[in-house]
Structure 1
Amino acid sequence: MQDITLASAAEIAAAVSSGTVSARTAVSAALDKIARLDPRVNSFTDVVAGRALARAEALDAARGRGEPLGPLAGVPFAAKNLFDVAGLPTRAGARINRERPPSERDATLIARLEAAGAVLVGALNMGEYAYDFTGENVHDGDSHNPHALGHMTGGSSGGSGAALAAGLVPLTLGSDTNGSIRVPSAFCGCFGLKPTYGRLTRAGSFPFVGSLDHLGPMARCVADLALAYDAMQGPDPEDPAASPRPAEPALPGLETGIGGLRIAVAGGYFARGGDADAFAAVAKVARALGADGTVEIPEAARARAAAYLITSAEGATLHLDRLRTRASDFDPAVRDRLIAGAMVPATWVERAQRFRRWYRDAVLRLFESVDVILAPSTPCRAPLAGQKTFVLDGVELPVRANIGVFTQPISFIGLPVAAVPVRIDDGLPLGVQVIAAPWREATALRVARALERDGVAAAPAAILS
């Protein structure tokens, strides 16, 4: 293993468990690489080197005693800084949150990964309060896309995507309310999983929109995505939205192929509003999978509008006291949208929720005739850092508000999505959403793995050196 920082999580775990590589060596290599390369990427806001090395040494001691180490033994990982990390204030990308007392314990998903043998090495940069699609942060500085440092990472899990693309860690955690795992996965060229709403507990994370928030893994390969997802599953009474469903492991069936799956491309709304490259990526994936025609997701544009309405209103309610007393400490772009959300009439929100129920039923009926639906992740490749507008279909549109045009109608009703990176030329990567019916994460991951195995979907081993 020439460079352990570029090995997959599964390879690292196998090497640590066998004693070929010590956990301390694996973790030290990641910490050294973060120190050397992250100043160019700005993906980390906190590095917990002392904790990580102590954890690694404990794993090595356990192996020496002949104890089993778990499926993620010695794997360095990092989490978006809206996850609680014992000893750190939970920033959620905000200046105000830096004044919070340090967390007393880790978020449940961090604890579950470490119970499987993984080693947390730090917390990752993000858009303020997760209300962001760009990867920009006025308090901690913008995260930079390792494919081209002058371009956006996407957000709000921008640090999570950038750390993977830079080869700093093989596994990260992000959150996705309207697209915040899928967008940086597309822009940074990595794999991501937005699970079914309620599948993975959110206990110990700072909320954004309670009825839309999801947490999930991001990785450089599909097997690592499934490995982390399986380790994090399970009911949790601490999250009222968490499903009581038992774990349904994805890894065992990952290599079974796509035979028998009915796969279609989302047409209509999802075939407009993006540039030619975004649709070329979907077409490439569809050809590789032998997709069976198209399906039209009804009223997707209205779903996006309703998602915006609910996002702004619920987000504003959460932050109302901060807006009243600390408005000047917000990113102005975030503050102004939250203030607007605070003025949305309650009757509008109720109408949006009623429509949401209708829309969910209508979309679920589509899965009676298909198993997987393909759609673009973003309408374009990563824009330039600081870019305010782009032109799509001859119309100039604000970047921040429109990067999630294809992701919002999907997370609005909590469907599981595997985000796959696709290259159609030598330019910046693009992304495709592999969308499945509720609780069918394993199906979406099987399709993602088939695309990876055929070389259609691939994350680069590393961009920076």
Structure 2
Amino acid sequence: MAHDKKAAIEDLVNTAFSLSNGGANRNTYLWQEQSWTFSEVRRIASMPADTSTIFADGHEPLWGIPVSVKDCFDLAGAPTTCGTRFYEALHGSAAADSWLVEKLRAAGAVIIGKTHLHPLAYGITGENAEFGDCVQPGDPDNLTGGSSSGAAASVLEGSAMAAIGTDTGGSVRVPAALCGLAGYRASLGRGDWRGGAHLAQSFDTMGWLFADLEDAPLLGSFFAPQSETTTAEQDSLPKRFAIVHDEFFSDCDPEVLEGLRLCRAELEFLGLRAETVNVPWWNDSCEIYSTIQAWEAARIHAGYYAEFGPAIQQRLEWGASISDDEITRLRKRHTEFRERMDMLLADHELLLMPAAPVAKLTVGADHSQTRARLLRYTTPVSLAGMPAITIPFSKEHCKTGGMQLAAAREDDSRLLQLAARMGSARKAQ
């Protein structure tokens, strides 16, 4: 039996490696070592079964599953580049596993490699001058989006069945939407950042990119606190959701608006009631978010600004110039914004809107204004520290963007159960 298990995992892993780096730039992974991964296969195959698990074979949900990890988390013996040659050289090989890698290995996941990211995770397009831009496997004219660019590419190309990403200002939600994938960003504070590289501690969250919405609850449980228990109240689906007034979507691509209409119809089909909300106070979100983010990032990367590309260097220098008094004022505004978002979700349970106003980011186009345009859609949820799931949409096999469905902080379980229900309903149609 142990031999059969090992052979089955080896087949999955061999397939994963054969599909790796399938994009035109062949840079889904910034680190892979087949000998290390196959030594993991041998270890995983010998893991004893646990009769307390929910699966008949006595293993954890991720046991034997090929998973990729964004290259801002330490894996012992491998470099952690954070998407830069500078940090690859400065830090060398990690001495120990990050909490995240440690937990994946304990669960029996097979780590296929460490994936591409926008430098420092400080960007949303997936462009990277040092490691090459990350383009969509099978669609070389379009970027994956970022900063969890390689995470999205790994699932698209089939080298990973699920991919670890991070989401500060949209870095799971946006690539998931652009690549026609599901994405989950956990509530702020879930997971442990030991051995993980922060961009901005006030907003950094962990998450997954994956293909099947029905997998959302199992993947989401990876970040759930041990104290979280399943109750009938938690498992009951939300009954209502807010959808932002049409005025907010003036810069949305038509196909993205069509996805929004379809997602609303899906939720209503499941029995949820929609209510339109006006949110003019969201106009402050980008200023609050981007300034605090720059201030925190500048302190993390102090002394090294000149080592990074011009756009990131400028943001870091700006962050260093922000006074403590200004940050104190912005943190007060942040608290007030979060409280208003809390009230919005208390009234409506869920919030539905596009994860990005565009359906694609063309390779080679001028994306100097893209970050600001996309952050307008993602920063309200980021400031609130709320969990969100990206619901993918396509038309005639073409990706047409994705919707973000957000819930109140720590209401992850019900959100993920609803996403799974949506996935099941789609398959039944």
Alignment correspondent of 2:211: 220
Alignment correspondent of 1:206: 197
Q: How many angstroms apart in 1 are the aligned matches of 2:294 and 2:209? A: 26
Alignment correspondent of 1:55: 40
Q: How many angstroms apart in 2 are the aligned matches of 1:193 and 1:457? A: 23
| 1:22 is aligned to 2:12 | no
| 1:451 is aligned to 2:422 | yes
Aligned pairs (5 A) from 1:427-442: 427-442=398-413
1:264 aligned to 225, 242, 248, which one? 242
Give CA deviations for 1:414-455 in whole Å, capped at 9, x if unaligned: 011011111245533301011101101122212222322232
Task: Check the 8 A contact 1:70/1:115 in 2, yes or no.
Answer: no
Alpha carbons of 1:166 and 1:203: their partners in 2 closer, same or farther (altered >3 Å)?
same
2:228 aligned to 247, 260, 263, which one? 247
Q: How many angstroms apart in 2 are the aligned matches of 1:225 and 1:289? A: 16
1:46 aligned to 25, 31, 34, which one? 31
Q: How many angstroms apart in 2 are the aligned matches of 1:54 and 1:38? A: 27
Give the stretch that moved more between structures: 126-135 or 211-220.
Answer: 211-220
| 1:185 is aligned to 2:156 | no
Task: Check the 8 A contact 1:419/1:433 in 2, yes or no.
Answer: yes
| 1:412 is aligned to 2:383 | yes
What amino acid does structure 2 have at the position aligned with 1:30? A
| 1:176 is aligned to 2:167 | yes
| 1:376 is aligned to 2:347 | no
| 1:91 is aligned to 2:73 | no
| 1:421 is aligned to 2:407 | no
Task: Check the 8 A contact 1:16/1:22 in 2, yes or no.
Answer: no
What amino acid does structure 1 have at the position aligned with 2:300? L
Q: 1:200 Cα shift?
A: 1.9
Aligned pairs (5 A) from 1:273-284: 273-284=251-262
Alpha carbons of 1:171 and 1:426: their partners in 2 closer, same or farther (altered >3 Å)?
closer
- Give the secondary structure class of the aligned counterpart of 2:140: coil
- Give the secondary structure class of the aligned counterpart of 1:337: helix
Alignment correspondent of 1:394: none
- Give the secondary structure class of the aligned counterpart of 1:193: strand
Alpha carbons of 1:403 and 1:284: their partners in 2 closer, same or farther (altered >3 Å)?
same
Give CA deviations for 1:115-138 in whole Å, capped at 9, x if unaligned: 111111100000010111101111
Q: 1:160 Cα shift?
A: 0.5
- Give the secondary structure class of the aligned counterpart of 2:274: coil
Give CA deviations for 1:150-184 in whole Å, capped at 9, x if unaligned: 11110100110111111111111011110000010
- Give the secondary structure class of the aligned counterpart of 2:31: strand
Q: How many angstroms apart in 2 are the aligned matches of 1:65 and 1:231? A: 17
Aligned pairs (5 A) from 1:336-347: 336-347=314-325
Alpha carbons of 1:317 and 1:61: their partners in 2 closer, same or farther (altered >3 Å)?
closer
Alignment correspondent of 1:76: 66
- Give the secondary structure class of the aligned counterpart of 1:454: helix
Structure 1: which 5+ runs fail to align? 1-14, 236-245, 390-396, 459-465
Task: Check the 8 A contact 2:23/2:138 in 1, yes or no.
Answer: no
Task: Check the 8 A contact 1:423/1:457 in 2, yes or no.
Answer: no
Give the stretch that moved more between structures: 181-190 or 198-207.
Answer: 198-207
Alpha carbons of 1:249 and 1:183: their partners in 2 closer, same or farther (altered >3 Å)?
farther
2:293 aligned to 285, 288, 311, which one? 311
Q: How many angstroms apart in 1 are the aligned matches of 2:107 and 2:230? A: 14
- Give the secondary structure class of the aligned counterpart of 1:120: strand
Q: How many angstroms apart in 1 are the aligned matches of 2:70 and 2:428? A: 24
Alpha carbons of 1:248 and 1:376: their partners in 2 closer, same or farther (altered >3 Å)?
farther
Alignment correspondent of 1:140: 131
Give the stretch that moved more between structures: 131-140 or 309-318.
Answer: 309-318
Give CA deviations for 1:251-290 in whole Å, capped at 9, x if unaligned: x999x784x5212212266433322222221111001211
Alpha carbons of 1:30 and 1:115: their partners in 2 closer, same or farther (altered >3 Å)?
same
- Give the secondary structure class of the aligned counterpart of 1:151: strand
Task: Check the 8 A contact 1:38/1:44 in 2, yes or no.
Answer: no
What amino acid does structure 1 have at the position aligned with 2:356? T
What amino acid does structure 1 have at the position aligned with 2:36? R
Alpha carbons of 1:134 and 1:293: their partners in 2 closer, same or farther (altered >3 Å)?
same
Give the stretch that moved more between structures: 50-59 or 219-228.
Answer: 219-228
Q: How many angstroms apart in 2 are the aligned matches of 1:18 and 1:231? A: 26
Alpha carbons of 1:421 and 1:199: their partners in 2 closer, same or farther (altered >3 Å)?
same
What amino acid does structure 2 have at the position aligned with 1:85? L
What amino acid does structure 2 have at the position aligned with 1:160? A
Q: How many angstroms apart in 2 are the aligned matches of 1:417 and 1:70? A: 24
In the superposition, the TM-score normalised over structure 2's length comes to: 0.90
Aligned pairs, number: 419
